[in-house]
Structure 1
Amino acid sequence: MKNSYIPMVVTFCMVQSWIFGQSKMQLVQTLPQEMVYLHSNASTVFSGESLRYKFYGLDNGTKKTTKISKVGYVSLVGRNGEVVFSHKLRLDSGATFGDFFVPVSLPTGTYKLLGYTEWMRNFGVDTFFKNDVFIINPYKTIPDIYLSQSVDSIEGKPVIINKRLNAKSQMDDSSFVDVSLDKTTAGKREKVVISVQGLTDASISGNYSISVQKRDSLYFETSVSSEAFLRNLNRNRGNANSETTSNLHIPEIRGEVISGTILDKGTQNPVENQRIALSLPGEAFLFKIATSDGDGRFSFILDRRYTNTDAAVQLMADVANEYEIKLDTKKDNNFGDLAFPEITIPRFMEDVILQRSVHNQIENAYSEIRMDSILEVEQVPPFYRDLPITYDLDAYTRFNTLQETIIEVTDHLSIRTLNDGSRVFEIRPNVGLPNDNLFPAVFVDGLFLKNHEDFMGYSAKKIKHINFTRDEVMIGSQVFQGVLSFKTIEGDFFDEFYSQEIINIELFKPEPIKNYFNQLYVGGDNQPRVPDYRHQLFWQPNLNLSHGKQELIFYTSDVPGTYQLVLEGFTSNGNPVSVKRALVVE
């Protein structure tokens, strides 16, 4: 176990050393600049609806999916610069997807949807993906600035009236991907089949997303196709000024970065070569150790998915009270200079707004029937969770104290008293005698405990499992004689435990990956008692054409009108693909 882990540590240290070993200007000039494209399901969204998006991270030079960032960000910003939401997203080969449910607390108005990476923040907001989103909240009074008595009274302001779509109003990019519907007109709750096929090797291995949504007279079209995005792209690399290089945003090459500085409390000078630990408690706990550099800087790389947001940071030094930890905070960019379009809603559209809001209320009332699901991502547990020796204390006589339990129940595990009177856990190695200066890494419900004495008085009757390994292990640059893990019955040790040496932090957790609900009516059962007022008929953000021709099935709803199928994406060699098809539901 030890030997298999050391090469990974060395590889990681080489990558991290290369990044932090470069001068800031060298790093800016060496790494390619990135760009982001977002395909959203709509640019006009009502309260009670979801804004869904697909995130494409691209290399600004090759236009292929980025190999730099493993994390992306999506934000929605209001006119006043206030951030409505910010999502952190784990990227899979440069791409991912997410969604935001628009609450009734959000007022009617124009908003800006932004997509970017941490690396792109060095080059300013001008390099971010930006798209206008218009939100209509019919449950609050719509501000007069968005209303007009009639179309004729509007002076130069665009009106949210889209020309009615028809079977001919489609964009065809047949050179890369062939997209067809088995019908152009369908009845209510009728099956529709989308056939999608890549026409070249590059398009077969490309990345695509597809949406089918109603397009009515109350629709403000601001979405930019992938083809138009690349055509209008400013190809200039961002300018790296003195402010950029002095406050460099490090690219998240291996995963999320949590960073900070270790300072001497007395002098406030940076302290180098000090180890610091980060633990994320819980069932699937994570643990990292970093070492500060000459500027006192340290960074943890979270390259695995996690479910909890609470974490604990603590110094490994015996004189930890002499040092101070200052964690970096990731603040949103200054979005105050964004330009927003002037939009006007004709007052005669009141009935259309009312009808759609009623549809949304009914749909949300039946949301449990059409609920999206969270995809569980299977991962190989880190070695410090894969512990071969297990004691289930319910299978043994229960003792009051931890020391009695270890003596009477376990083998190869003991408690030793040090010269200063404090006690430590000791694991007998597989080979040879114990090293008096080497102690095990101890976890309780996933919380790393540097001071073993803090746990010695804990009631053994509250402990469910004891797990450990006798192998010598290396985590970061720290060597431990084994790993010892206690699991309590309630699993709440972190909530109850306090130490002045531990800093509790709340992490900005990446969004979960969802499997979006697709309404199917099978076997002739159309569920007549369950209303179906969906305006979003289909959403597949992760379309894979590598298995040949794909047939995607969806069913229409009870809402008649014209719907538009939109496919966006990029081939594996960076060519944009934009396809539109129309469907009339009668």
Structure 2
Amino acid sequence: MPTSLLRIFFYLLLVSSLRTFGQAPPSVSTLTQPFDTYRRQALQEKLFVHTDQAFYLTGETMWFKVYYVDGTRHQPLDVSKVTYVEVLDKEHKAVLQTKVALSTGGGNGTLFLPSSLSSGTYLLRAYTSWMKNFSPGFFFEKTLTLVNPFKPLGLPLLRETPDYDIQFFPEGGHLVQDLPGNVAFKVADASGHGVAVRGWLLNERNDTLAKFSPHKFGIGKFAFTPLANTRYRVMMTDEKGRMMTRPLPIVDTQGYTMRLEETANDQVKITVNTNLDGASSVYLFAHTRNEIKAAEQRPIQRETTFLVDKKALGEGVSHLTIFDADRKPVCERLYFKRPTTSLTIGLKPDQKQYASRTKVTLDALVEASAAQSKQAALSVSVYRLDSLAGMDSGNILSYLWMTSDLQGQIESADYYLQTETAEVAQATDNLMLTHGWRRFRWNDILGSQTTTASKRSFIPEHNGLLIQGTVTDPASGRPMPNVITYLSAPGKPLRLYVSRSNADGQIRFEMQDFYGPKNVLVQTNPKDSLLKLTIANPFSASVSTTHLPELSVMESQADQLLNRSVAMQVQATYGGDQAIRYRYPIVDSSAFYGKPVESYALDAYTRFPRMEEVLREYVLGVMPRKKQGHFRLYVPNEPYRTFFEDPSLVLLDGVPQFDMDKIIDFSPLKIKQIDVITNHYFIGPALFPGVISFMSYKGDLAGFPISPSVLRLDYDGLQLQREFYSPRYETDKQISSRLPDARTLLYWNPDFKTDAQGKGRIQFYTSDQAGTYVVEVNGLTTDGQAGSQRVLFDVKNSPK
């Protein structure tokens, strides 16, 4: 079994050691066993991306931090080493893409927003290779607003008739005639914000059966019992008196309904009704993020109830499903149990108001119980608030506990995690009724064919980027198994990757420490050179189902747009060079074969005009021979002091070469060094009788002619980390400098850490831009406690 599959197998065994529902009745086990099998095979990964803000102009840079945790316990993971980050437009086409290195501390990166982008709302999404095996509902998604100040906004025309998104959600999923039920509803405008309305439920005789209005954010519910042979419709009016009419969802003639209510003795009561004459029993199955919390069977005639102790349910979103006697899901709803603990982050600036170009000192304090770690990895953003940019660049707490498990966009997700009141509790339950479970479908679990981890198309990238592709017959398209392929990326350090195609013709190259844009060459042995090589696009082909709202920027905000646009252009003009600096990763700079047995720096020797003379005169470990009119190069088989019978692997700047006549004809004046390995050498699945490595001065092949059968393509490796630039004003000369400082993003640190006592200090300097600024912090401890905090301060222009 490949190493990568062994690692995921052992990790899944570790995950399976998490709490599993105990001994269940045999009939219930027909549900619990396939679910537990799925849970062990389908490791849940979660990503959260904290961006420096959520509103941008083209020409600006988006800074982001990626948090990486397991989907059940929200503890930092160390399985995948790469995350894929994309920006999608309204047609869900990728306009920007990048790959970011991951570790247990997450990852961070940047995306420059070019002026070729149009104004609008965009979707930022992030995922790992393993997550591509599942629905895009597993991906992280976040809406961004982008304005191109050099193009007309192109705002949509206002409609006389409101274009509201009105949806109805029967509790449990169905309305069934003669069975009581609740119907939740959601009314949102084109930007996704809830709308205040008044509504009436009417029958076909225009009798008013119920009156209702939203409780919060355009979401509410009403109760009624649908009758046979009756049509229903809903009339609504908004605050401007505009009327809307919508039909109710179809009323089923037969089926099941479910209703949930909390009891006074800290239990959850689930009432199940049916009008089916043959119904004999139903099952309740409850889980919290794939940990089974309840599984029970009860008889039913017309009605039955289940009582679940709240303490038995996990914190966060629980998924409650009712199955009929044939173990088919018939009703489903969500329940939210508020987390009792979270990471408390204190932020205390040394002042509430600052002059321009002055130091801001901000003390951070992470508070936790004695049993919890106070050492946290924090991401910190400090940016100016205005009518364009609101405080919505992301909250890790609400995302992990709520948003990541629910479908659709949630307005003001932070609201639901505040201190619980009756109003908040009602709003939270309404939210559970209107946003479905996003993380799997029951047919994925109860289907007859269960996909095992070893059969999934994408494996976790444990050691770095995987470049994958296929080898096929160009005439028939048939996959070609057992073909040795080579991948090279000329440059320094010297690297060569070898893969043998499997039964499906698939090839995989594990690219450890593969950073930055590269020119990649992929080839086969000469006998297979007519085969077709294809390198797969590593980004997901799954289309997001998220609806992007209309651009919410108004023409009345033109002054704010102009102010920010001027600031961005001034900063790019006067501070652009200092702002673009990269932190290069520490990687092994030696060649992939390590220290060679023989190494020749050719500048230390007499320079000959022909390569054959160089090899014969002073490269002792290489024997050029001519057979049937063509050169071949051999190396001695140490320690036997005989030459290998087969030709050695010959490389030029890491690229395998099979035509030795071209090597002999190549000018030795372009070669800086020759390394020789004088014994058998393994690279992946291949064994070579020695290695001869020619290296040019720049590692760029020095104009060597490449065979047309070699596949050449530009390929972006992992993103190099860019350093955030923040000027310092410590001297009078610096403070009085006439060089403008137009920064609206004062500080960004994706990896700020507190000490063992939970303390840390942040320092930065204000710019020339006056206004109100927000310090926004997200954080995660090693034991999985997440938290978020914000604090405001003002900047006033210094007197001249």
TM-based fold match above 0.5 = yes
CA distance in structure 2 between the aligned counterparts of 1:311 and 1:28, rounded to whole angstroms: 38
1:217 is aligned, of 383, 387, 391, to 387
What corresponds to 1:163 in structure 2? none
Q: What displacement does 1:284 show?
A: 1.4
What corresponds to 1:152 in structure 2? none
| Residue 359 (structure 2) pairs with residue 191 (structure 1) | yes
What corresponds to 2:307 in structure 1? none
Q: What displacement does 1:328 show?
A: 2.8
Matches within 5 A, 1:84-483: 84-93=95-104, 95-145=106-156, 176-200=344-368, 203-232=373-402, 233-234=404-405, 237-239=439-441, 240=444, 248-264=457-473, 268-316=477-525, 319-321=527-529, 323-330=531-538, 332-335=540-543, 337-380=545-588, 381-387=590-596, 389-418=598-627, 420-483=628-691
Q: What displacement does 1:91 show?
A: 0.9
Q: What displacement does 1:368 show?
A: 3.4
Note the alpha carbon deviations across 1:421-460, whole angstroms, 9 max, x for none. 4322222244113353344332212222244343121122
Comparing both structures, which one devotes a greater share of its residues to strand? 2
Matches within 5 A, 1:68-83: 68-83=79-94
2:563 maps to a residue whose letter is Q
CA distance in structure 1 between the aligned counterparts of 2:708 and 2:343, rounded to whole angstroms: 64
| Residue 713 (structure 2) pairs with residue 545 (structure 1) | no
* SS of aligned partner of 2:561: helix
| Residue 785 (structure 2) pairs with residue 575 (structure 1) | yes
What corresponds to 2:722 in structure 1? 514
2:750 maps to a residue whose letter is P
Contact 2:465 2:514 in 1 (8 A): no
Change (3 A) 1:460 1:494: closer
CA distance in structure 2 between the aligned counterparts of 1:141 and 1:45, rounded to whole angstroms: 16
1:226 maps to a residue whose letter is I
What corresponds to 1:556 in structure 2? 766
1:139 maps to a residue whose letter is F
1:468 maps to a residue whose letter is V
CA distance in structure 2 between the aligned counterparts of 1:267 and 1:17, rounded to whole angstroms: 34
What corresponds to 1:14 in structure 2? 3
Q: What displacement does 1:190 show?
A: 0.5
Higher mean C-alpha deviation, range 559-568 or range 60-69: 60-69
Contact 2:635 2:643 in 1 (8 A): no
- Larger Rg: 1 or 2? 2
2:706 is aligned, of 474, 498, 518, to 498
| Residue 240 (structure 2) pairs with residue 38 (structure 1) | no
Q: What displacement does 1:45 show?
A: 1.0
CA distance in structure 1 between the aligned counterparts of 2:451 and 2:152, rounded to whole angstroms: 43
Q: What displacement does 1:55 show?
A: 1.0
CA distance in structure 2 between the aligned counterparts of 1:320 and 1:369, rounded to whole angstroms: 48
CA distance in structure 2 between the aligned counterparts of 1:547 and 1:438, rounded to whole angstroms: 60
1:532 is aligned, of 738, 741, 744, to 741
TM-score (normalised: structure 2): 0.64
Change (3 A) 1:184 1:159: farther
Note the alpha carbon deviations across 1:264-306, whole angstroms, 9 max, x for none. 4566543333221111111213211112223332211112224
Contact 2:47 2:66 in 1 (8 A): yes
Counting matched residue pairs gives 553
* SS of aligned partner of 1:304: coil
Unaligned runs of 5+ in 2: 13-34, 160-187, 194-340, 406-436
2:347 maps to a residue whose letter is V
CA distance in structure 2 between the aligned counterparts of 1:297 and 1:144, rounded to whole angstroms: 47
Change (3 A) 1:63 1:532: same
2:462 maps to a residue whose letter is I
1:42 maps to a residue whose letter is Q
Contact 2:44 2:72 in 1 (8 A): yes
Q: What displacement does 1:229 show?
A: 0.6
CA distance in structure 2 between the aligned counterparts of 1:467 and 1:134, rounded to whole angstroms: 54
What corresponds to 2:249 in structure 1? none
CA distance in structure 2 between the aligned counterparts of 1:451 and 1:31, rounded to whole angstroms: 47
Contact 1:147 1:345 in 2 (8 A): no
* SS of aligned partner of 1:361: helix
Higher relative contact order (CA 8 A, sep 6+): 1
Contact 2:634 2:644 in 1 (8 A): no
CA distance in structure 1 between the aligned counterparts of 2:59 and 2:784, rounded to whole angstroms: 36
| Residue 67 (structure 2) pairs with residue 56 (structure 1) | yes
2:786 maps to a residue whose letter is P
1:368 maps to a residue whose letter is G
Change (3 A) 1:425 1:572: same
Change (3 A) 1:129 1:412: closer
CA distance in structure 2 between the aligned counterparts of 1:244 and 1:531, rounded to whole angstroms: 60
Contact 1:147 1:344 in 2 (8 A): no
What percent of counterpart residues are identical? 25
CA distance in structure 2 between the aligned counterparts of 1:279 and 1:313, rounded to whole angstroms: 7
Change (3 A) 1:264 1:141: closer
Q: What displacement does 1:98 show?
A: 1.3
1:312 maps to a residue whose letter is L
Note the alpha carbon deviations across 1:17-42, whole angstroms, 9 max, x for none. 777999xx989852412111110111
Q: What displacement does 1:258 show?
A: 1.8
Change (3 A) 1:107 1:294: closer
Contact 1:90 1:96 in 2 (8 A): yes
Q: What displacement does 1:556 show?
A: 0.4
